[in-house]
Structure 1
Amino acid sequence: MTRTIPMQAPRAILFDLDGTLADTAPDLAAAVNHLRMVRGMEPTPYAILRPTASAGARGMIGAAFGLTPADEGYETLRLEWFDRYQSAMAVHSSLFDGVPELIEGLNAAGIAWGVVTNKPARFTDPLIPQIGLAHAGCVVSGDTTPHSKPHPAPLFEGAQRLGIAPEQCWYVGDDLRDIEAGRAAGMVTVACAWGYCGAEEPLGWGADYLVATPHDLLRAIQAATAAQMNALVA
């Protein structure tokens, strides 16, 4: 963890999905490599695709085909990739090691939790129950509000659905956009180094915490809670 002084204890934890709670890269990569193979192309190595998973279609198609959203042919690939991914979203996707225990710890401590992702609802809604997150207190998808991260609107929506003020929430993610969104929403921000993280080192994102494992996150929450309780009785 980068911070030694505990921040304000959370009443709720909001999580990004891909690369934070769930390792979805295998199915995302399989979908984009299917597009390559039907075009007679060799699959792109998984090691190249995995770091781009949190960037969705923009990241995957960029890595596999070298195209940006401004390029001709990108939109056709994006729509085809969406359809292929939707047909096989939970074949190899699963929660990261330690995430079930983290969620159990939050439930035991009476801390609300939910999901705020840029993933469209057409994928989020069926995927969430398939990978063991059906009991999330809220699920905010990339098209739930008029804006997606790094805009804070989805985080405000998540906090509102939980009935908790944004400043009493922590936001956890594996992408710079997550930290930017959390900061803009006035939340304590947590960068999770176990995620995909992209090309930029999370140490430079300016998050309040940088944690290596879900267990480290739970320890940070427990430390902040204990410090707040001690301050109240001092």
Structure 2
Amino acid sequence: MKCNTIIFDLDGTLLNTLEDLMDSVNYALSQYGMPKRELEEIRHFVGNGVERLMELSVPDGKNNPVFQEAFACFKEHYLIHCNDKTGPYPHIMELLEALHDKGYNMAIVSNKYMNAVKELNELYFSRFIKVAIGESAGIRKKPAPDTVEEAIRQLGVSKDSCVYVGDSEVDHMTAVNSGLRCISCLWGFRTKEELIKAGAGNNIFVTDPMQILEVIQEEEL
């Protein structure tokens, strides 16, 4: 079936959120006398949700006696500051407008917690994307297929018409677990070498958002 629906990851795919995530992590760490993390460390820590991000950032992770307090501090800070330095990657807005004009369905699925996903979608993409799903109680986060399946249900489309777009090994496995074809973007939080090492070598790799439009218009996809 010809592709008519694109399901996007958020962080590292549509939005460059890395510096805001780092700032909130480091704010929380500093409140509890813990050493701050560098941007390259945060880049490797993201992808599995903010609890996992904090688990990797806090010394001794969840075994640290103040982990839950630091995690709560991070969430409180990030909800206020999630848009200080965040913004769409170059050509993302042009891509979404072109897809919208051509009648494609679009959704966001993210391991970021739901409130932040809704807020960022409203700020940037709500003209084009009406379905945006984040981490919440009762639905497993990626790489489980649950959020993707919920997006497909809300859109009212066939799985056979969908393609998944993301930037990480978590996104690759989400697509596999969901039975979707996967486009891996290389402007995000992982390199092509890292993705291939994670088993994503058969994915379609793109280096500019507008290539996504070219790819999905090809008959073989």
Is TM-score (shorter-chain normalized) higher than 0.5?
yes
Please give the secondary structure, in 1, of the residue aligned with 2:190: coil
Task: Name the structure 1 match of 2:195.
Answer: 202
SS of corresponding position for 1:202: helix
Task: Report the 3-state secondary structure (helix = DSSP H, G, I; strand = E; otherwise coil) of the residue aligned with 1:113.
Answer: strand
**Which of residues 160, 170, 186 in structure 1 aligns to 2:163?**
170
Aligned: 1:179 with 2:172 = yes
Give the AA of the match of 2:211.
D
Residues 85 and 102 (structure 1 numbering): CA distance in 2 closer, same or farther, change over 3 Å? same
Aligned counterpart, 1:219: 214
Aligned residues of 1:203 and 1:210 also touching (Cα < 8 A)? no
Match of 1:232 in 2: none
Check if 1:191 corresponds to 2:178. Answer: no
Cα distance per residue 1:24-57 (max 9 Å; x no partner):
1111111111123334555422232233233333
Give the SS at the match of 1:54: coil
Structure 2 unaligned blocks of 5 or more:
none
* TM-score, with length taken from structure 2: 0.87
Is the contact between residue 176 and residue 202 of structure 1 (CA under 8 Å) also seen in structure 2?
yes
Structure 1 residues 145 and 13: alpha-carbon distance in aligned structure 2, compared to 1, 3 A threshold:
farther
Tell me what 1:106 maps to.
Answer: 99
Identity of aligned residues (%): 23
5 Å matches for 1:50-69? 50-69=43-62
Quote the RMSD (CA, aligned, Å).
2.4
Aligned partner of 2:12 in structure 1 is: 19
Corresponding letter in the other structure for 1:65:
V
Q: CA deviation at 1:112?
A: 0.8
Q: CA deviation at 1:62?
A: 4.4
Matching residue of 1:154: 147
Q: One-letter code of the match for 1:223? A: E
User: Using a 3 Å threshold, how does the CA distance of structure 1 residues 58 and 131 change in structure 2: closer, same or farther?
Assistant: same
Structure 1 range deviating more: 199-208 or 136-145: 199-208
Q: Whole-Å Cα distance in 1 between the matches of residues 142 and 38 of structure 2?
A: 28
- Greater displacement, 131-140 / 174-183: 131-140
Matched, 1:87 2:80: yes
Larger radius of gyration: 1
- Distance in 2 (CA, whole Å) between partners of 1:105 and 1:26 is 28
2:161 & 2:138 partners in 1: Cα distance?
A: 21
TM-score, normalised to structure 1, is 0.83
Change (3 A) 1:20 1:160: same
Unaligned runs of 5+ residues in structure 1 are: 1-7, 229-234
Q: Are residues 64 and 102 of structure 1, via their aligned partners in 2, closer, same or farther at CA, if it must alter by over 3 Å? A: same
2:128 pairs with 1:135 = yes
CA change 1:218–1:42 in 2 (3 A) is same
**Structure 2: how far apart are the matches of 1:220 and 1:199?**
18
Bigger shift: 28-37 or 92-101? 28-37
Cα distance in 2 for residues equivalent to 1:41 and 1:160: 43
Cα 1:36–1:147 change in 2 (3 A) is: closer
Distance 1:67 1:53, change over 3 A: same
Is the 1:145–1:153 Cα contact (8 Å) retained in structure 2?
no
Query: Helix, strand or coil: the match of 1:123?
Result: helix
Displacement, 1:199? 11
Structure 1 residues 157, 193: closer, same or farther in 2, change over 3 A? same
**SS in structure 2 of the partner of residue 217 of structure 1:** helix
**Cα offset for 1:203?**
2.3
How far did residue 126 of structure 1 move? 1.7
Counterpart CA distance in 2 for 1:65 and 1:198 is 25
Contact preservation (8 Å) 1:58, 1:68: no
